[in-house]
Amino acid sequence: MDIEKILSGAGLRTTRQRRVILELLFRHGSPMSHSEILSMIDDHLDRVTLYRTLDTLKNSGIVHQVQGIDGVWRFCAHEQDLDGCPGDHPHFLCLSCGKMFCLPDQKMPRVTVPEGMQVEGKQLVVYGTCPDCAVQKSEEKEENK
């Protein structure tokens, strides 16, 4: 993953903060909240710098943002986004543990909006129980019998 090439391709210069955040998002592979990103960065990065950097990366199309039904904004980056994909893919939100997962190999549904409206973005969040939580729930049921 050539972070400098990704940033320069989007017309951005490489900064330490951009490099660290992008490396984490690409490595993690699933959408992450501000708090999750801060907790996983060993570098000295304050919350304001994180917000500004994510906003810049989002506006340049490298990172995209999705809000779950839990109200938390999460950010993800995928190589496919760099090939012209605006990051429009569905996500899955586990209602038990709160983790969000990308479903990038599926297309977003086509939506027709009335004339005069401009679409600025779209998101689809499917919610339910992830495999880990489903196993945990079934184990708890077995223990309670």
CATH number for 105: 1.10.10.10
Handedness of CA 125, 95, 68, 15 (dihedral sign): negative
Residue 15 lies in domain: 3-144
Per the structure, the count of domains in the chain is 1
Q: Confirm or deny that 102 is annotated as ligand binding.
A: no
- The confidence band for 84, taking pLDDT boundaries of 50, 70 and 90, is very low
Q: Confirm or deny that 94 is annotated as ligand binding.
A: yes
**pLDDT, tens only, 19-77:** 999 999 988 878 899 999 999 987 778 899 999 999 999 988 888 888 877 788 999 88
CB 91 within 8 A of CB 124: yes
Q: Confirm or deny that 85 is annotated as ligand binding.
A: no
- CA atoms within 13 A of residue 101's CA, in its CB half-sphere: 14
CB 63 within 8 A of CB 19: no
End-to-end CA distance of the chain: 50
